[in-house]
């Protein structure tokens, strides 16, 4: 295995010179701001999160402020970030923080993990980045960097394995784990990218196992591509966009016009309602959830 010290110094120095100036990394960022950013960044590029996050934090600077609003307002201001269930869960998360934690974002990993919308990665990220805790932060970037640098694989496994977790924990420095975590993430996001890694700019190219092995391409089953056109997801997106942009309840006809296939449309609408992303009123009009 690679000596941790061969990785630590070069990556930390690289980060010092190349870190992006992101608002949730600013010295005045609150734990709530960090938490909001982490939820928004799930499966979503930084560039698209930036404006939504700024608006969100201006509107709801604290968990309590968000918890005081109907969940539909969270969904509305989520805009076109994607995966709007995250907005619902972030709202539920704000309510739980308000009701069960005195309005303060918990600093403890296990407590964070129990909150809606927060899984293993996000709990580690918030505990680490907002509170300086020592946790292995295993996102897609970190997993890819370690897969390449240490295991000589182009891509990490489909799902996070115990082997990866042990490796990440073994590489955790005694001090400054939070900075280390964000530095590796940043390296994966900017240099050790999925598609066309910029090895010429990489601070650990000299010790990277994958590069030293001649950058062998990924072997094994092709990773599942996500089709989108014509799916229920696309249909749900269309329907929800109508509700988001409306100021009050909309008649069903307003939903019918955005998707031709009636069977699929009904299924998608039922799904939105079941997920709590939409409500039906007795007069058969539809709106974002008020409760």
Partner DNA sequence: TATCCGTGGAG
Partner DNA sequence: TCTCCAAGGAT
**Hey, CA dihedral for 97, 88, 127, 29, is it positive or negative?**
negative
Tell me the per-residue interface mask from 70 to 99 with DNA, x by CB under 7 A, - otherwise.
----------xxxxxx---x----------
* Tokens 């938490």, residue located: 35
- Positions in 184-223 near DNA (CB under 7 A): 185-186, 188-189, 193-196, 222-223
Q: Is 266 assigned a catalytic role? A: no
Candidate ranges 1-9, 38-46, 102-110, 252-260; the one touching DNA (CB under 7 A): 38-46
Q: Is the CB of 25 or the CB of 287 nearer to DNA?
A: 25
Q: 134 CB contacts (<8 Å, ≥6 apart)?
A: 128, 172, 177, 178
Q: Least distance in Å: CB of 264 to DNA?
A: 10
* Residue 69 burial (CB count, 10 A): 16
- Catalytic one among 13, 38, 104, 164? 38
Which is nearest to 84 in space by CA: 281, 276, 291, 247? 276
Q: Is the CB of 206 or the CB of 230 nearer to DNA?
A: 230
DSSP state of 290: -
Q: Least distance in Å: CB of 12 to DNA?
A: 16
Q: Cα separation of 185 and 18, whole Å?
A: 12
Contact 249, 285 (CB under 8 A): yes
Which residues in this chain contact DNA in the complex, by CB under 7 A?
Answer: 22, 24-25, 37-38, 41-48, 80-85, 89, 116-123, 125, 139-141, 144, 158-159, 182, 185-186, 188-189, 193-196, 222-226, 228, 231-234, 236-238, 240-241, 271, 277
Mind telling me the catalytic residues?
A: 38
């Amino acid at each position: 295995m690679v000596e941790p010290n061969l990785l630590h110094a070069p990556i930390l120095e690289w980060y010092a010179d190349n870190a992006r100036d992101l608002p949730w990394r600013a010295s005045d960022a609150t734990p709530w701001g960090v938490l909001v950013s982490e939820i928004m960044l799930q499966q979503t590029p930084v560039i698209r999160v930036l404006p939504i996050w700024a608006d969100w934090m201006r509107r709801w600077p604290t968990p309590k402020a968000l918890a005081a609003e109907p969940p539909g307002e969270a969904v509305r201001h989520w805009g076109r970030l994607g995966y709007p269930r995250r907005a619902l869960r972030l709202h539920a998360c704000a309510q739980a923080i308000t009701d069960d934690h005195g309005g303060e974002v918990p600093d403890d990993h296990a407590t964070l993990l129990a909150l809606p919308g927060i899984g293993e990665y996000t709990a580690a990220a918030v505990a680490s980045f907002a509170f300086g805790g020592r946790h292995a932060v295993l996102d897609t970037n970190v997993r890819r960097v370690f897969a390449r640098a240490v295991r000589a694989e182009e891509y990490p496994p489909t799902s996070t394995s115990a082997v990866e977790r042990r490796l990440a924990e073994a590489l955790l420095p005694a001090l400054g784990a939070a900075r280390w975590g964000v530095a590796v993430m940043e390296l994966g996001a900017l240099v050790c990218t999925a598609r066309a890694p910029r090895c010429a700019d990489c601070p650990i190219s000299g010790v990277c196992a994958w590069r030293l092995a001649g950058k062998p391409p990924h072997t094994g089953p092709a990773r599942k591509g996500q089709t989108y056109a014509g799916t229920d997801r696309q249909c749900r997106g269309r329907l929800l966009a109508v509700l988001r942009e409306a100021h009050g309840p909309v008649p069903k006809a307003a939903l019918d016009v955005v998707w031709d296939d009636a069977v699929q449309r009904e299924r998608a609408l039922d799904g939105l309602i079941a997920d709590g992303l939409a409500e039906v009123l007795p007069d058969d009009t539809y709106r974002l959830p008020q409760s």
